[in-house]
Each structure stands twice: as C-alpha cells, then as structure tokens.
Structure 1
C-alpha cells in the first residue's frame, strides 16, 4: 500500500499506542487509508480495532504516536478534523425520545449547518438508508438493524471527507447488507476515505480495496485485496465423479488438502492457475461442475497470518 495517506483526504497513524491501565489496547499501529479507497481493519476481538477508531475519531487521546485525519491532528486540531470526519460506532447511541428525523437535524445543527440545509439533508439521508416510513417515529422503536442504518445516516449528515465505520453491518438484514456495500463503494468512488472494521470478512471482500491486519494491538500486515486474491490459497473443485476427479488431480500433480466435504480442495496461485486447471480438466474429459475459492480472500489471508504467528 502507498504511504501518502496523510494528505488532504486520507488517514494516517504512525506508532500509535493507547493503554487502559495495564492493558495495552493499541500497542504500535501503523496505518494509511487513502482517499477514493475502502480500507478494512481486520483482526480478532481484542486486537485494538475499536480503540484505534476512537483515537482517529478524536474521542480518545493516544499515549504515543501521531495521527492525521484529512490532514489534521484530531488532538491538536480537533475541530478541523471532526468537521471532516463521519463516525459510526458499533452500537447506535442517541436520545431515544427524538424521532429519526430529529436525530439527523440535531446533528446537522451541531455541525453548524443552516436549518433548511439540515432539514433537506435529513430527508435525503432517510431516503438513502430506507427509513422514510420511520422518519417521524421515536428512535427507541427502531430495530437493531434500523438503528444501524440511522447511525450511518448520522455519520453522513455533514458530508465528511473521511468515514470511520465500526461494524456497520451488525444487525442488518441481507438486503440492507447489499445496500451498505453499494453505498460504501459509491462514497469511495466520490473520493472519500472509508475505514471500516467488521468481523464478517466476506462482507469486506466485496467492499474493501485494502486491508490492515491487527493482532494484539499491533499492525502485522497491510495488503491490497487484489494482491491477497492473487496469493496461493485453497480452491474447491467439484465434479460429477468425485473419485475420478481426485484421481485426475493426483495424476496431474496438484496438491490435495484432506477432504472436508464435496469435491476436492487444491492449492492454487490465483485466478490464472484456476483457469489453467479448469481448461486442462475439461480437455481431459473430467466432468467438472464448479471451481471456486474455498473461502473469502481476506479470510484466507487472515488465517494464513494467524498460522504464521503461532
């Protein structure tokens, strides 16, 4: 990944540390998230993802290291940084007595948007996140997924340059997850910097351009999603005759993983190798039914990193 993410629209963290007493939640994170791209934060529970996002959002002061968001330091230039940052926490918190529309107009007022601009922006965003029919309902009647959608709208009220999204798909139904992916990709295409954390790595596969892997509060790897897809990983091949398929793969010199279900698992170096296998199999009369990666790109990259660290 490039290291020029600290420019006018990007996010940069260098050597960031943050402890809570004896617990080192973030213990040396380096990160660059670039404008026009979606960067995924990947790591297990307790790896420091949420703490890092809170630091970037200006809600926690780091113990050490430097941070810039859209070119501004959230600690020493907090007002300028926050004007350019949209923050969506993993749990939506608001005044439950306010309606969905009032939540958005209140946030718009906090960002000093004129009243008429705030009202128009609230109506636009409620339509965008499919909450029109709940616009004038109190927030406390919304479901978990609906509150998540309202939280995303809240983060977008002031049209920020940088979006920090912590578990944005949590509680969303399948249709809403698709809508979220489409919206995030659209925002990146508009030139915004999007940094997103999620435990659902399959969601990130279709959303992210780059990934930053965290473990025990530290950055352990950075990689583009396209680069991860080109690495050696398991693919599943199925055919009408599994025994014949496995015999052909063995004769052809493919390394087979232990069977874990239908078909066979083979280690391949990206799409070109998969295409070559399929062409050869069909040419030899093997009745192949399907050939696809056995897991998501980021999932496989993450599991490989975890295996290396053991």
Structure 2
C-alpha cells in the first residue's frame, strides 16, 4: 500500500465531459520502485486518468495523491515530482531536440549549465545524440517518442506517467525502453505506464490495473506467478497426448493452432504436468504459456463483459 510519502494513489476518481463519464469510478495504487501497467480498451478512460494524475485535468470527485501531494491543491509540489509523457509529442517542432530539453530544464529552474548537461545526458540515454541539433519536426514518430521520454525525465522526477511510450518505436528501441523503465523502477521511481501492447507490459510491469468504461475492474500482480492461465501442450503423437490427458483426468481443450490447451497455476504446476507426461512416455515437444499473463486476464475480462 502506498503511503503519503510516495507513489500514486487514486480513490473513487471521477471526471465527466458533459454527459460523457470518461472516468466514472477509478481506484488505483502504484508503488515506488515498481512498474504498474494501466490496461483497458479504447475509450476506457486511461488517458483522462493520466491527465488528472499529471495535474492537467481537475477531477470532478474522488481523491488523488502523487508523490504524497494533491495535483489540484498542491500543483507545484506534485508537478515538480512528476514526469509526464503523452502519447503524442505535439509541441515545439521548430526547436532542436537539445533546445526542447534545455527549455524544459529552465522551466524546472535548472540553471543554464545544469540544463545543458542534463540535455546531453538524456540525449545519449535515448540514443538521439546524432540528432541533438536537428529541429524536432524532422524527427520520425519513434524519434519523437524517445525525445518525449527524455523530456519527461529532465527534472529527475519521482513519478513517471507514460502514455503509450512504445508507439512508433522500432524493435531495438522497444527493448531499450523496457530496460530503461526497469532501471528507473529499480532506482526507486514510481512508474505508471499505459499501453495496448500487452506482451511488452508482461516483460516490463510488476503490477497491473484494468479499467473499463471508466471503472477499475481488476488489479493483478504480474510477478506473482500463481494466477491460473492457459498453457499450450504439443506432442509428436497428438492422439497419445489426448489419451494420456483423459486417462489422468486432466481437463483440456483443443488448440486451433495445434496441440491442446490446459489450465495451470504457475510454473510449478506446469513442471509437474510435464514430468508426469514424460514418465508416461508421451512424446511431448513443448509446454509453454499460450499467451502473456496480462493478455489472458484482459481477454477473460472482456469475455465476462460480453
């Protein structure tokens, strides 16, 4: 549980635009030193929630604390500790990448020398040294995303709010992003990241909050490892595999892509099933998760709502 000294906490947060209830009732906790994934379908209220956490929208109701401060009544203190990366860079295209960062540094009251040093450090961190003095409007979508991340880090914030940070990134940059986010969390920062790429969040996040129609519908630890999930089992002799599963009274269902699907709780259960199959001389080729933890939870929630 987050204390008032850090992290993010939202309780019963609401925000409407006329008759549209963008955020109807959201509860969220993100802890320091951990990456929390914010997951939901389009129109579920993710970006509206992030804007409220960043202090850019006033909630209609509920309470919010970011790094121990209320973004509405203690705006300066909250923003000084928050790094905000929107899903679109969207400003200052006439400035160079270096000028974007030094301008933000000045806004956060870093002196000129410190701002220039921080800009150089961050340009190297996001691999934009070669484009440091190029105007932002010539940058590709992915390069602008990297610059947007650097901009969010200028003042070394305690809390990072990342809205679709991997959008437009090439595969190498996506790997770099995951490594950087994990390093930032290891340093004690609180990171809340929204993304539609659930496989990436599986590798990046410690916890997840699922929202739908503006409401929190589930929370989950990504690293717990004991949530039930489907595993795909393949064998050289499918008939022998099915006969063994039936004889051992192990529930399964056919997998449209081949093999069978079995529900297991964690890697220990998978190891026990595989050992039993091998001991029964079933020619198992592979046993692996049929999808990521977050993907399976998300799809199950969507199925329930239908």
TM-score range, shorter chain: over 0.9
Query: Which residue of 254, 258, 263 maps to 2:254?
Result: 258
Q: Is the 8 A contact 2:232 2:255 kept in 1?
A: no
Between the aligned partners of 1:307 and 1:117, the Cα distance in structure 2 is 52
Query: Which residue of 245, 256, 274 maps to 1:249?
Result: 245
Between the aligned partners of 1:11 and 1:162, the Cα distance in structure 2 is 8
Between the aligned partners of 1:177 and 1:7, the Cα distance in structure 2 is 33
Query: Which runs of 5 or more residues in structure 2 are unaligned?
Result: none
Aligned-residue Cα RMSD (Å) equals 1.1
Between the aligned partners of 1:267 and 1:112, the Cα distance in structure 2 is 55
SS at match of 1:7: coil
Residues 105-124 of structure 1 mapped to structure 2, 5 A cutoff: 105-124=102-121
Question: Residue 90 of structure 1: CA displacement?
Answer: 0.5
**TM-score between the two structures when normalised by the length of structure 2:** 0.97
Query: Which residue of 16, 36, 40 maps to 2:37?
Result: 40
Partner of 1:19: 16
Q: Is the 8 A contact 2:51 2:57 kept in 1?
A: yes
2:302 corresponds to 1:303:
no
Question: Residue 7 of structure 1: CA displacement?
Answer: 2.3
Of residues 6-15 and 161-170 in structure 1, the stretch that sits farther from structure 2 once superposed is 6-15
SS at match of 1:226: coil
Residues 69-80 of structure 1 mapped to structure 2, 5 A cutoff: 69-80=66-77
Partner of 1:55: 52
Q: Is the 8 A contact 1:88 1:151 kept in 2?
A: yes
Partner of 1:218: 215
Partner of 1:239: 235
Of residues 119-128 and 261-270 in structure 1, the stretch that sits farther from structure 2 once superposed is 261-270
2:191 corresponds to 1:204:
no
**TM-score between the two structures when normalised by the length of structure 1:** 0.96
- Structure 1 moving runs of 4+ over 3 Å: none
Between the aligned partners of 2:261 and 2:208, the Cα distance in structure 1 is 26
SS at match of 1:285: coil
Query: Which runs of 5 or more residues in structure 1 are unaligned?
Result: none
1:141-188 per-position Cα deviation (integer Å, ceiling 9, x unaligned): 111011000000000000000000000011111111111111001101
Between the aligned partners of 1:214 and 1:72, the Cα distance in structure 2 is 23
Partner of 1:130: 127
Between the aligned partners of 1:156 and 1:107, the Cα distance in structure 2 is 10
Residues 46-195 of structure 1 mapped to structure 2, 5 A cutoff: 46-195=43-192
Of residues 285-294 and 137-146 in structure 1, the stretch that sits farther from structure 2 once superposed is 285-294
Between the aligned partners of 2:9 and 2:218, the Cα distance in structure 1 is 15
Partner of 1:294: 290
